[in-house]
Amino acid sequence: MVTDNLEASPGGLDRYLPDTVHGWKAVKPDHEYTFDTLFDLIDGGAEVYRSLNVRKVLDRRYTKEDSADIIVDLFDMGSSKDAFGAFHHDMREDDDVGVGTESEYQGSYLFFWKDRYFVSVVALEETPETREAVLALGRAIASSIPRPGTEPDIVKLLPSEGLQKEQIYYFHDLESLERRYMIGKGNPLHLSKETEGLLARYAVSGVPAAKDGQLFAVFLIVAYASQSAALAAEKDFSALYLNRAESGKLVQLPGKGWAGIYRKGTHLFAVLESPGKATARGLLDSVTANETK
């Protein structure tokens, strides 16, 4: 199967959160949101987590006299794959701060994922004191989650050379892909809740850089539930996006440079655009040597 078997929710999420940290105390009662009510917590951003199968979210506020409040949102994503996807919805350009399986601290915000959970810890004002409290709170939550979780297997299929690791985007459906990249009319890749996809950027070598700096190639992997589904997507995507290019062949597209597709088993690999032909060729050639199911 392409997706994890989503386990039943393991119980109250409040068991992962401490009542106090560095003098900040939890304000009770907590607020809990479900797949259907998440819009009440996140106005305009709920679909990101709904598309990744969010189960429920616990929202808790911590207060301390004469200090800014700290807010924790603990997302039960149902699987470590989708917790990874929730974390990687945004670019992760700052250093990992060692909380959970992967983490980032930016401004007054700490984000991390571990097992099936994605966690946001935010101080409403950043000071040295709130920074320490936010990190301590994140560590306490992470340590209470017993399993680390694993990144999706599809991540291991990404070619390593030139990969911009901070710009890996995990998704399932067409709407989610199009938040990052438009592929044209319709749904030629046959994306759905049953598919699993990665969008990644690669540094391009051998081509003069643009005025605004480094050039990038855009690379896509999609995993399907069956080989027949992958074959149908390959046929339609090649016809609608690649001028009917054969598998493994490169074509030049107006405004996008070099592009191409390669199918192996239940997986599609596609260079959506690359200003350098050598980079596009290298990306497709690299995946031909990897075994997929």
- Same domain, yes or no, for 133 and 248? no
Query: Which one of 144, 172, 188 terminates a domain?
Result: 144
Q: Look at residue 7 and tell me whether its pLDDT is greater than 80.
A: no
| Dihedral over alpha carbons 219, 225, 229, 230 (to 10 degrees) | 30
Select from 127, 144, 161 the last residue of a domain. Answer: 144
pLDDT at 121 over 90: yes
Domain that holds residue 106: 13-144
For the stretch 177-207, pLDDT in tens is 999 999 988 999 999 999 999 999 998 876 6
Q: What is residue 113's predicted lDDT score, i.e. its pLDDT?
A: 98
For residue 147, pLDDT over 90 is answered with yes
Report yes or no on 187 lying in a domain.
yes
Q: Are residues 157 and 280 in the same domain?
A: yes
Q: Are residues 94 and 191 in the same domain?
A: no
Res. 130 pLDDT band, cuts 50 70 90: very high
Q: What is the dihedral of CA 190, 193, 195, 200, to 10 degrees?
A: 100
Nearest in space to 9 (alpha carbons), one of 100, 77, 63: 77
Residue 98 CA to residue 116 CA, distance in Å, equals 17
**Residue 8 forms part of a structural domain:** no
Is the pLDDT assigned to residue 3 strictly greater than 50? no
CA dihedral angle for residue 197, residue 168, residue 99, residue 172, rounded to 10 degrees? -20
Domain match, 75 and 167 both: no
Based on the fold, state whether residues 193 and 274 are members of the same structural domain: yes
User: CA torsion, points 15, 17, 21, 23, in degrees to nearest 10?
Assistant: -80
What pLDDT shows up at residue 160? Answer: 92
- Residues 209, 265, single domain; the answer is yes
Q: What is the pLDDT of residue 45?
A: 87
163 shares a domain with 271: yes
CATH code at position 59: 3.40.1000
Confidence of residue 172 (pLDDT cuts 50, 70, 90): very high
pLDDT tier at 43, thresholds 50, 70, 90 = confident
Same domain assignment for residues 157 and 140: no
Beta bridge partners of 61: 27, 71
Provide the mean pLDDT of the chain.
90
For residue 175, the model assigns a pLDDT of 94
3-state secondary structure string across the chain? CCCCCCCCCCCCHHHHCCCEECCEEEEEEEEEEECCCHHHCCCCCHHHHHCCCCCEEEEEEEECCCCCCEEEEEEECCCHHHHHHHHCCCCCCCCCCCCCCEEEEECCEEEEEECCEEEEEEECCCCHHHHHHHHHHHHHHHHHCCCCCCCCHHHHHCCCCCEEEEEEEEECCHHHHCCCCCCCCCCCCCCCCCCEEEEEEEECCCCCCECCECCEEEEEEEECCCHHHHHHHHHHHHHHHCCCCCCCCEEEECCCEEEEEEEECCEEEEEEEECCHHHHHHHHHHHHCCCCC
Residue 3 falls within a domain, yes or no? no
211 — pLDDT class (breaks 50, 70, 90): very low
Decide if 23 is inside a domain: yes
For the chain, how big is the Rg over CA atoms in Å?
A: 21
Same domain, 186 and 278: yes
CA distances from 139 to 64, 95, 96 (A): 19, 16, 13
Which tokens sit at 179? 């938040």
Q: In this predicted model, which residue has the larger pLDDT, 214 or 254?
A: 254
- For residues 56 and 122, the answer to whether their CB atoms sit within 8 Å is no
Q: Give how far Cα 287 sits from Cα of 26, 91, 107, 271, Å.
A: 49, 24, 38, 11
- What is the per-residue pLDDT for 209? 54
Does the reported pTM lie above 0.95? no
Question: Mean pLDDT over residues 135-164, rounded?
Answer: 95
- For residue range 84-115, what is the model confidence (pLDDT) as tens digits? 999 999 888 888 999 999 999 998 999 999 99
Number of domains in the chain: 2
Looking at the structure, tell me whether residues 125 and 171 fall in a common domain: no
Kindly state whether residue 206 falls inside one of the protein's structural domains: yes
Rounded Cα distance between 14 and 194, Å, is: 31
| Residues 240-253: tens digit of each pLDDT | 999 888 888 899 99
* Residue 5 resides in a domain: no
